Amino acid sequence: MGRTKRERGQVTRAKILQATAELIAESGWSGFSTREIAARAGVTQGIVGYHWRSKDDLVREAALTASAQTLAPVFDALDQAPTVRVALERLLEYAAAFRDQPQLTMLLFETMLQAGRDRPLRDALAEMLRDFRTRLAAVLADESAGEPEATAAALTAGLDGLFLHAVVDNQLDVHAAGAALLRLLDQRPPSQEPRLPRQAPPASRRR
């Protein structure tokens, strides 16, 4: 049975988003045209214009889609690991592997740079990071950690820094640096507040 019109439209959108993400990584945020996007995706410019009102909207959505896909294994590690320490150890492995994905790295760099100029993009990225910190803080609270929100913010900032340094500096020992970061968990003051069992996040928030 053939695809429905809606399904064909979704496939076309996915192809255009993928093509746009590739061009962001290769040519920079503004270094390509709608015509190049269409050619890369194998569609006409009219099809691109049918799905997006402007190039800015398309490029922003492509970057955010790629960012969400990049964060998906990060959220999975946090949701599936039995403890915060195990989750962070898995994320450190992910950081080390990030070095082998130069195109994705360039895409994320371009996205973060553009976020300083693009308020909707910045707000969307901030929401993704806020979501991660909130879920990390919930896990820390389950483990009776004192100041879970502040600890989650510090650990998230440390992970972000390791990702950046791992990409820029091939000589960085990610595992040694990560071990130092994990020692923050050993220095947490215990919480004095009783905690209720944590519920799994709603399916709509899973990436």
User: pLDDT tens, 76-102?
Assistant: 888 888 888 888 888 888 877 877 888
CATH superfamily of 59-205: Tetracycline Repressor, domain 2 (1.10.357.10)
With beta carbons less than 8 A apart as the criterion, state whether 175 and 132 touch. no
Separation between Cα atoms, residue 114 and residue 28, nearest integer Å: 10
Q: Give the whole-angstrom CA distance, residue 44 versus residue 53.
A: 15
Helix axes 84-97, 119-142, angle to 10 degrees: 140
The pTM of the full predicted model, rounded to 2 decimals, is 0.80
Confidence label for 175 from pLDDT (cuts 50, 70 and 90): confident
Most confident of 50-59, 142-151, 179-188: 50-59
Summarised one tens digit per residue, pLDDT across range 21-32 is 999 999 999 999
